[in-house]
A and B are shown apart, each in its own frame.
Chain A
Amino acid sequence: MKIPRWLRWRSDAELNEEIQAHLELEIQSNLDRGLSPEQARRAALRRFGNATLVRERARESDPFFSLETFVREVRYALRNLLRVPGFTLAASATLALAIGASTAIFTVTYRVLLNPLPYPDSARVLMLDFGNPTANLPSGFRSISSQQYFQYVDRVRTLESVAAYQVDDLTISGAGAPERIRVSRVTPSLTAVLGISPIVGRAFAEDESVPGAPAVAIISYGLWTSRYGGNPAILGQSVNLDGAPTEIVGVMPQSFAFPEAGIDAWVPLALTRAAVSPGYLFTAVARLQDAATITDARAELTRLTNELEAEQPGNGYRQFVSTAVTLIEGTVGRVSTMLWMLLASVGLLWLVACANVANLFLVRADTRQREVAVRRALGAGRGSVARLFLAESALLSVAGGAAGLGLAVAATRLLVAFGPASLPRLEEVRVDAVVLVFAGALTALTGLVFGTLPLLRSVWTAPSLQEAGRTNTGSRRRHRARHALMASQIALALVLLVASGLLMRSFQRLLAVDPGFDPRSTLTFQVGLPPVDYPGRNRVVTFHHALLDRIAALPGVTTVSATTCLPLSPEAFCFGNTLAIEGRPMQPGRFPRPVAQRAVAAGYFAAMGMRLLRGRDLDRADIDRGEPVVVVDEAMVAAYFGDEDPIGRRVAFGYQSNNGPWRTIVGVVQNTVTTGLIELNPIPKLYLPMSTSGGPDLPVSGLVGPDISVMSYVVRSSTPPLGLVAAVRRTIDEVDTTVAIARIETLQQGVDRAAGQAAFTTVLLAAAATVALLLGLVGIYSVVSYIVSQRIGEIGVRLALGAEPGGVTAMIVRQGGIVVLAGILAGLAAAVAGSRLIASLLYDVNPRDPTVFTATTVTLFGVAMLACLLPARRAARVSPVEALRAD
């Protein structure tokens, strides 16, 4: 591209004319001094200096000049690159991979960890959290009681507003098939705390949380569009929520996902001062007063909580210390290590890629030394030669960056689609301007990193034309940069290999964890009975028995049972209470360990594949007669009985229930996991016959056990479990067509989901390590090959003088091996130093696990030596005659 003449500040022709005029004047004055015409011309030229350089310098000061040169140089660079398609393809693919991976992981990290939550002034929104130092719990207790809630609402000064909530599953019916939906019961103050209002309709009024108020609900944007076609006329209409007519009063914005993604509706949480209870049933968020800090809020919350001890001694209030965190910290805190780790590992991968391409560039720069020398000799300035190289690296990194951005978009979609369910805010991840800026900046940095290195060598230390013209054996100094790059590639690859090795081993351990049940070949699904149609416990039990009997008769089904809460369910703890033991008076000030309670149908342990350790199972007769019997697990025995024999002892729900009603322990089963596969301290559990537990007519606060209106069925079969789904649906319709089922999955899928986050990290890190290893190998191979090709003359001489081919191979391998060893040592040092950072992601694996370190080191050393050996053997096969002729 040529800049139009009228746009230019001063044309080349004008400058040429000026220079010409100058020279003529100088020649004239020389002639006047008596020189011969020839002498006068030469003296003038000498006096003028390098005219080309002058023109170039003058042109450089023209604003349009740089654009013009830029275009010219880019075109020249493009031609050069297209002349070596192999190099160009390898380099840009490497860069695309590194930039793509880094950008994708950055996108996720940025969206999940760094981007503020989508609430106004979200840094002032807190999540209440407590620690109990006396129980060795520094923080992480996220539950509060209604006593605490009203204590804070009435007295707190450092908080502007407080909201409590819990998550529940309900059946929505009327206008469409019955559907199990996920709702959050929230106090009306939630909209004030978060600062978000419905896009259509209104928020809850304060009096709508009073028991007996007309039922209202706000629905999510998703439910609004999927179930009601986004029709605003839905406002004011009545739907059935668990059978109760409920008016829809609002629709939340699309981006609103509180407290988690996948909430379909919000209903008022019925809390009254008249009926406060000590049960830790709610989670709470709050907004800080403008003048208050989080430290102030913590101090005040601790004081207010401790003051509740007088009202409810022994409930733990005195021991609590507030460890409130910002809502974003509370939401994403547990995944931050993992994401930073992944970002660090793609960062390392990026460095390996840069080193690799820099190496390719060094080789290319060396082969072009003659060209550079010629250019310099013809008067090209350092700047213009530098620009020549920079144009090539810029082109390559732009090509790599563009392809990398495409890769990043695809990879981000994959990450969102297959990311673990436990990764919060995944639904917010998308490619946007921030990501584009990041990719652009990374591309520029990449070009600079691998572009300047060869530049330093070829331009500033450019050899004279004479030197460059000689094909020689290559000086030791010339290989130093290459060797340094090769060693650092090995070091970086080793760090990634060790990290992924540790994670893989940890993952292996994780998969080997015994969940306490047999997840194979078992279908689970949840059934919820609307309280309107099933108002009493007896009707609920009758329904469950009718369904259990019909499912048991289906072909392929071996056993079937039901529970109020499956291990690894999203509700985790689900329901529980402390226990009183008959004949053991309550110890003042000691808060006994809460025990999770599960109401079950007969044969639950058999259906789950849990081992009964002592005593007997709960059978149909227990349920039919409503026997006050329970089965407990090992953790419960350990927490309450120690070495005493629990069989025959009697327990009551609630540690203050010193007068019963008593239930007799008839059996002990093995522990199961509850919230996740890794539980250092198993949660104690108690199983009771469903006919003796809570129901729609028996309030949860009545200390009778969980509500059996919602039960998860467990169907063990001899056929593939998911094949039973259609038959199960038909069977339910036979019993009652208005009943919805949800969460259809196998037990194994539940276990896999629990391992999901670990699997996610492991797979991504393993991929990064593999790519780094491959790039490292390519790097080693190309460096050794290049060095061999440079030394071909020397090798020829050695062979001609009688050196053994084996000796030549050994010499080259030995020299490569020293570099490989240096890289491995550096990598080991870095891996050992960095192992502390990965420790929190590991389960049951020492971050300096010798097996992992040895295995990865040996593997890397082995393949690295192989990469040295191949070119070395080729060198030894060289014919001395040809080698010498080549020189």
Chain B
Amino acid sequence: MSDKERIQLLQGTLDLLLLQTLVFGPQHGHGIATSIQRSADDELLIDHGSLYPALQRLERAGLISSDWGTSENNRRARYYTLTRAGRRRLVTETRKWETMVRVISRVLKPGEAQ
């Protein structure tokens, strides 16, 4: 799939994806990137680089924490872990997101409302 076919991430949704990815345990940057890529079936256009400023922002907000660990290829890598606050945030943000999707879909395709 070429870059042009991939969709751009909606503003503000990257944080949600990052938090969701970390639900399954600590992960380093590359792992998070591949994980998102894989679950999105490669349809999302994300510069891997753009994850890092976002991760720092989340860490500063206390939603995730980080520590050095060792990667698959035996290299030092920074592992990110979801904090309790992050978990709570993920729940509320997910709920908000679902509501939004529902509302938007209802408006866009009134006939198919569940």
Q: A21–B52 Cα gap in the complex (Å)?
A: 12
Question: Can you offer 5 A-B residue contacts whose CB atoms are under 8 A?
Answer: A22-B48, A25-B30, A25-B72, A49-B49, A54-B49
Q: A731–B78 Cα gap in the complex (Å)?
A: 101
Decide if B109 is an interface residue (CB 8 Å cutoff): no
Known contacts A29-B34, A61-B60; is A54 also within 8 Å of B72 by CB? no
Q: A15–B56 Cα gap in the complex (Å)?
A: 10
Query: Which residue in chain B gives the minimum CB-CB distance to A25?
Result: B30
Tell me whether B48 and A49 are in contact (CB under 8 A): yes
The interface residues of chain B, by DSSP majority, are classed as helix
Tell me whether A48 and B56 are in contact (CB under 8 A): no
Decide if A855 is an interface residue (CB 8 Å cutoff): no
Tell me whether A58 and B72 are in contact (CB under 8 A): no
B47 CB contacts on chain A under 8 angstroms: 47-50, 54
Tell me whether A25 and B71 are in contact (CB under 8 A): yes
Decide if A734 is an interface residue (CB 8 Å cutoff): no
Tell me whether A21 and B56 are in contact (CB under 8 A): no
Decide if B25 is an interface residue (CB 8 Å cutoff): no
Decide if B39 is an interface residue (CB 8 Å cutoff): no
B31 CB contacts on chain A under 8 angstroms: 25
Interface readout for A665-698 with B: 1 if CB under 8 Å, 0 if not? 0000000000000000000000000000000000
Q: A17–B73 Cα gap in the complex (Å)?
A: 14
Q: A54–B57 Cα gap in the complex (Å)?
A: 13
| A8 shortest CB reach to chain B, Å | 12
Tell me whether A54 and B34 are in contact (CB under 8 A): no
Tell me whether A18 and B57 are in contact (CB under 8 A): no
Q: A22–B76 Cα gap in the complex (Å)?
A: 10
Q: A29–B48 Cα gap in the complex (Å)?
A: 14
* Contact surface of A with B, Cβ cutoff 8 Å: 9-10, 14-15, 17-19, 21-22, 24-26, 28-29, 47-51, 53-54, 57-58, 60-62
Interface readout for B71-107 with A: 1 if CB under 8 Å, 0 if not? 1110111100000000000000000000000000000
Known contacts A47-B47, A49-B47, A54-B50; is A22 also within 8 Å of B56 by CB? no
Q: A14–B66 Cα gap in the complex (Å)?
A: 12
Tell me whether B49 and A21 are in contact (CB under 8 A): no
A58 CB contacts on chain B under 8 angstroms: 52-53, 56
Tell me whether B50 and A49 are in contact (CB under 8 A): yes
The interface residues of chain A, by DSSP majority, are classed as helix
Tell me whether B76 and A54 are in contact (CB under 8 A): no
B18 CB contacts on chain A under 8 angstroms: none
Count how many chain B residues have C-beta atoms less than 8 Å from C-beta atoms of the other chain: 22
B49 CB contacts on chain A under 8 angstroms: 19, 48-51, 53-54
Chain A to chain B: the 7 pairs with minimum beta-carbon distance, closest first: A49-B47, A54-B49, A57-B53, A49-B49, A25-B30, A21-B77, A22-B30
Known contacts A21-B30, A57-B53, A61-B53; is A26 also within 8 Å of B48 by CB? yes
Further 9 A-B residue pairs, CB within 8 A, beyond A18-B29, A18-B77, A19-B49:
A10-B56, A14-B78, A19-B52, A22-B48, A25-B31, A50-B49, A54-B47, A57-B50, A58-B52
Query: Which residue in chain B gives the minimum CB-CB distance to A47?
Result: B48
B57 CB contacts on chain A under 8 angstroms: 61
Query: Which residue in chain B gives the minimum CB-CB distance to A28?
Result: B73
Q: Which of B34-66 contact A (CB under 8 A)?
A: 34, 47-50, 52-53, 56-57, 60
Q: A25–B30 Cα gap in the complex (Å)?
A: 7
| A408 shortest CB reach to chain B, Å | 43
Decide if B33 is an interface residue (CB 8 Å cutoff): yes
Query: Which residue in chain B gives the minimum CB-CB distance to A50?
Result: B49
Name the contact of A21 in the complex, choosing from B34, B60, B76 (C-beta under 8 A): B76
Query: Which residue in chain A gives the minimum CB-CB distance to B48?
Result: A48
Tell me whether B53 and A54 are in contact (CB under 8 A): yes
Q: A53–B52 Cα gap in the complex (Å)?
A: 11
| A406 shortest CB reach to chain B, Å | 42
Q: A50–B47 Cα gap in the complex (Å)?
A: 8
Q: A19–B77 Cα gap in the complex (Å)?
A: 9
| B9 shortest CB reach to chain A, Å | 13
Tell me whether A15 and B73 are in contact (CB under 8 A): no
| A84 shortest CB reach to chain B, Å | 36
Known contacts A19-B52, A48-B49, A54-B50; is A25 also within 8 Å of B73 by CB? yes
Tell me whether A18 and B48 are in contact (CB under 8 A): no
Q: A10–B52 Cα gap in the complex (Å)?
A: 12
| B37 shortest CB reach to chain A, Å | 9
Q: A18–B29 Cα gap in the complex (Å)?
A: 8
Q: A29–B38 Cα gap in the complex (Å)?
A: 13
Tell me whether B75 and A21 are in contact (CB under 8 A): yes
| B58 shortest CB reach to chain A, Å | 10
Q: A878–B20 Cα gap in the complex (Å)?
A: 70
Interface centre among A26, A58, A62 (most CB of B within 10 A): A58
Tell me whether B30 and A17 are in contact (CB under 8 A): no
A53 CB contacts on chain B under 8 angstroms: 49
Tell me whether A26 and B60 are in contact (CB under 8 A): no
| A22 shortest CB reach to chain B, Å | 4
| A51 shortest CB reach to chain B, Å | 6
| A383 shortest CB reach to chain B, Å | 13
B29 CB contacts on chain A under 8 angstroms: 18, 21-22
Q: A62–B33 Cα gap in the complex (Å)?
A: 23
Tell me whether A21 and B28 are in contact (CB under 8 A): yes
Tell me whether A17 and B53 are in contact (CB under 8 A): no
Q: A17–B28 Cα gap in the complex (Å)?
A: 12
| B97 shortest CB reach to chain A, Å | 24
| B84 shortest CB reach to chain A, Å | 22
A22 CB contacts on chain B under 8 angstroms: 28-30, 33, 48, 77
Q: A631–B57 Cα gap in the complex (Å)?
A: 93
Q: A22–B71 Cα gap in the complex (Å)?
A: 10
B78 CB contacts on chain A under 8 angstroms: 14, 18, 21
A61 CB contacts on chain B under 8 angstroms: 53, 56-57, 60
| A351 shortest CB reach to chain B, Å | 38
B33 CB contacts on chain A under 8 angstroms: 22, 26
Q: A366–B78 Cα gap in the complex (Å)?
A: 45
Q: A54–B50 Cα gap in the complex (Å)?
A: 6
Tell me whether B75 and A24 are in contact (CB under 8 A): yes
Q: A51–B78 Cα gap in the complex (Å)?
A: 17
Q: A53–B76 Cα gap in the complex (Å)?
A: 23
B56 CB contacts on chain A under 8 angstroms: 10, 58, 61-62
Q: A9–B66 Cα gap in the complex (Å)?
A: 12
Tell me whether A15 and B75 are in contact (CB under 8 A): no
B76 CB contacts on chain A under 8 angstroms: 17, 21
| B10 shortest CB reach to chain A, Å | 18
A29 CB contacts on chain B under 8 angstroms: 34
Q: A22–B60 Cα gap in the complex (Å)?
A: 21
A9 CB contacts on chain B under 8 angstroms: 60
Q: A28–B34 Cα gap in the complex (Å)?
A: 13
Query: Which residue in chain A gives the minimum CB-CB distance to B37?
Result: A47
Query: Which residue in chain B gives the minimum CB-CB distance to A56?
Result: B53
Q: A26–B57 Cα gap in the complex (Å)?
A: 23
Q: A550–B99 Cα gap in the complex (Å)?
A: 107
| B19 shortest CB reach to chain A, Å | 17
Interface readout for B2-29 with A: 1 if CB under 8 Å, 0 if not? 0000000000000000000000000011
A51 CB contacts on chain B under 8 angstroms: 49
Query: Which residue in chain B gives the minimum CB-CB distance to A9?
Result: B60
Q: A61–B78 Cα gap in the complex (Å)?
A: 18
B77 CB contacts on chain A under 8 angstroms: 18, 21-22, 25
Query: Which residue in chain B gives the minimum CB-CB distance to A44?
Result: B48
Q: A58–B52 Cα gap in the complex (Å)?
A: 7
